[in-house]
Amino acid sequence: MWTLVPLFLLAHLGSGLTGAWRPSQPRLQFSHKELVHNGRLLTLPLPNAGDLYALVPDEDNRRLYGAMKDQLLATSLDDITQGPRQLYWPASPDRIQECLMAGKDPEMECANFLRVLEVYNHTHLYVCGTGAFNPRCAFIPTETFLKGDRQVLLPEQTECGKGKVPYDPHQRTATAIVDGELYAGISSDFMSRDSAFFRSLGTRHVIRTEQYDSTWLQDAQFVKVAPIAESDNPEDDKLYIFFTEHAQEAEGPAGKVIYSRVARVCKNDIGGQRSLVNKWSTFLKARMVCSVPGDDGLHTHFDQLQDIFILHGRDKTNPLIYGLFTTSSNVLNGSAVCVYRMQDVVRVFKGHFSHKEGPQYKWAEFTGRVPFPRPGTCPSRTYGSYRSTREYPDDVIFFSRTHPLMMEAVYPVGERPLLVRVGVQYKFTRLLVDRVEAVDGQYDVMFIGTDSGQVLKSIHLPRQPGHSQEVTLEQLQVFKGKSAITAMSLSKKRQWLFVGSREGVAQLALFQCDLYGQACAECCLARDPYCTWDGQACSPFVPITRRRNARQVGDAGDPLTQCVRQGAGLQVDAEERVMVVAEGNSTYLECLPKSQHAAITWFREERGDSHKLHQVTSGEQLVVIDRGVLIRRAEPGHGGVYHCQLEEHGFSWTAVTVQLSVIGPGRRGRGPPRACSSARAADGTGARTARGQTEPMARARSTGDTKEGEEVEEGEEEKPKNWVSAHASVNLKCTCSECNEEPGISVIKM
């Protein structure tokens, strides 16, 4: 019985991920070594980082700050390896001893884990740490890092951090400083039982959520706090809080099911007069749903919210909210990204309230009279004489206290995720989104951190109304030790992505256009919004330029349309090889395209007619496999010219041409074969060169007219969809002295 449960779930999820929602392979993969070699990645190893919680860029001071265990890092925003400085801030010895006496772990708990890192103004940071279960905070002048490395923050330079940072470093925290006030979602007591959302620091009295009331918050893990203006009226400004908690309204045992939430409070909320004194009186919350619908109507839910990124556009009141979710089940390992419209969130908060009559009743829609002004409304001149929440009628405050939950949930755009990963060896941990301006519009590029030290670079392209296609452009192994990514930040001005893990900090360029290739078609097939073909090379796209560039995103990466329109041509240089194998030996014809989205098909020229090609198929002594053609026992008939043809997005081109010669027993030791002699020829007479190819080798034709599902004509085999890893090809030249006559596998590269 128990073994059937995961099988059912996997089968159900698989049915929901068919078609356009099946996870895509990354087009390109780069190892840590390749990223460093290409100059795209800088690393700052931090042996004592252990717990790198946050990375905050300061564009004005050109610094990057990092919150870690017992220390605060500051380094250059232009080059993280140049002049890194650390401010040492340990917990006091007395507090460490008391922490140990309480039975806490000396390494993972009894230290000062920095959990709040905010830029307070141009001259100061506001930083808070757990202080070995004794929360402490401090205003830290940015000039501190100019005095030298390993500065020490003394206890008398700190202040009490209760209500600003949790006691326990394992509890997730979300903070934001708005107009000099700190908004913090934390677990506020020693035992981590009191989840709360606070406002402190400013001139107003400290205010928080209702204490020990599970209808407000229960075991909340806070992810993000962000100010979002809903209108042009500043009196209507609100703070939005994103978190997970154990849901009271979920079916099954109460408080056992995890839901993701979005909540909000009014910025000008100061609490009630007789009830909810110094408590939020405008607090409302709703469920956030991120799920994959199945064919049977059931949904596979991703309920564990991991990260939120709010992408503001021209309309500041209606940003897009990108959410990164994982499954909360141990049976199904999966991650997803959903995107929400702010207008849909606002609509839910203007909808019906949820209500429960008693312990034996189910949660249902509240059908009674809702008092005026509507609970959750910010005090404003719009509502006459109500200048503050303390002037609200008692029935409004009472209703706010007993009905914080909305009946309707917030659903993503299209009611399904943009991106899903299930059954892979990693989970998503962090998310950033960069909106890129292009000739043909805007594209949102997602950078997703994983628990295996990778960063995925993905985009989503609109298709039919209400649907989009996810394309993962790159998979980048940022950290050599494959440690989980715990922090990410973006410098849009400098076009750097900063990534943190227990190994240290990494600085990654958002793009590297020249790696896509030297031809227009290769640049367009990359579909990278940051890059364009400028007539000479694949280069970064500059929005201010008026030059007509070839784009590769909106036209589905079709080089036939874009490159021809620009007059750039379609020719893609092919790699040429000459190979010689002794009769009876085995050999391997290899083809390793950069793109994993390219399908490989092998063709062979007809003897005496280079214009006639026949598809290579497996036989008794010849096997077509994923990355090439394996000839088990070479025969004279195997000799000839082979072409590795790639097809991607309906565009075909020859990537590799191999001239294979099979040496019979009578030719061994009697001088060079004819293949070597012809290979030494210069460009022209009979020689095949990369840039002077004969028509069959340089062919780059569109096959986009063949639609999915069409039958292959009789006598023609369907092209296999073989996906291979990235590989840097090497042009090989023939020298006859290298001809191998030894038995065994003979792959002779000349």
CATH number at residue 645: 2.60.40.10
Identify whether residues 479 and 355 lie together within a single domain.
no
Last residue of a domain, one of 355, 387, 417: 417
Q: Is residue 715 assigned to a domain?
A: no
Identify whether residues 673 and 734 lie together within a single domain.
yes
Contact partners, residue 740, CB within 8 Å, separation at least 6: 580, 581, 582, 746, 748
Residues of the chain with pLDDT under 70: 1-23, 49, 253-255, 383-384, 439, 464-467, 544-560, 566-569, 666-750
Q: Is residue 99 assigned to a domain?
A: yes
Residue 728's pLDDT is: 29
Identify whether residues 664 and 628 lie together within a single domain.
yes
Last residue of a domain, one of 183, 208, 233: 208
Residue 448's pLDDT is: 99
563 and 589 Cβ atoms separated by less than 8 Å: no
Identify whether residues 298 and 393 lie together within a single domain.
yes
Q: Is residue 480 assigned to a domain?
A: yes
Residue 259's pLDDT is: 97
Contact partners, residue 97, CB within 8 Å, separation at least 6: none
Q: Is residue 71 assigned to a domain?
A: yes
Residue 400's pLDDT is: 97
Last residue of a domain, one of 175, 208, 241: 208
Picking from 183, 178, 213, the residue whose alpha carbon sits closest to that of residue 195 is 213
Identify whether residues 326 and 397 lie together within a single domain.
yes
Q: Is residue 9 assigned to a domain?
A: yes
Q: Is residue 240 assigned to a domain?
A: yes
% of residues, the chain, pLDDT over 70: 81
Identify whether residues 286 and 382 lie together within a single domain.
yes
Identify whether residues 402 and 501 lie together within a single domain.
no
H-assigned helices in 665-705: 674-679, 695-698
Domain containing residue 329: CATH number: 2.130.10.10
287 and 259 Cβ atoms separated by less than 8 Å: yes
Residue 329's pLDDT is: 75
Residue 230's pLDDT is: 87
Contact partners, residue 283, CB within 8 Å, separation at least 6: 197, 209, 210, 216, 263, 264, 265, 376, 400, 404
Residue 37's pLDDT is: 97
Identify whether residues 179 and 43 lie together within a single domain.
no
Q: Is residue 315 assigned to a domain?
A: yes
Q: Is residue 713 assigned to a domain?
A: no
Identify whether residues 192 and 289 lie together within a single domain.
no
Query: Rounded CA gap, 463 and 423, in Å?
Result: 26
663 and 638 Cβ atoms separated by less than 8 Å: no
Query: Rounded CA gap, 45 and 506, in Å?
Result: 8
Place of tokens 């999915």: 708
Identify whether residues 480 and 496 lie together within a single domain.
yes
How many domains does the structure of the chain reveal?
5
Identify whether residues 400 and 478 lie together within a single domain.
no
Dihedral, CA of residue 116, residue 120, residue 122 and residue 123, to nearest 10: -80
Query: Rounded CA gap, 33 and 11, in Å?
Result: 38
Residue 384's pLDDT is: 67
Identify whether residues 463 and 446 lie together within a single domain.
yes
What type of residue sits at position 81? T
Domain containing residue 548: CATH number: 3.30.1680.10
H-assigned helices in 228-284: none
Range of the domain at 296: 1-19+216-417
DSSP code string of 558-612: -HHHHHHHHT-----PPEEEEEEEETT-BEEEE---S-TT-EEEEEEEETTEEEE
Which three-class secondary structure state does DSSP give residue 636?
helix
Residue 552's pLDDT is: 52
Residue 240's pLDDT is: 99
Helix (H) or strand (E) holding 507: strand 504-509
DSSP label at 316? T
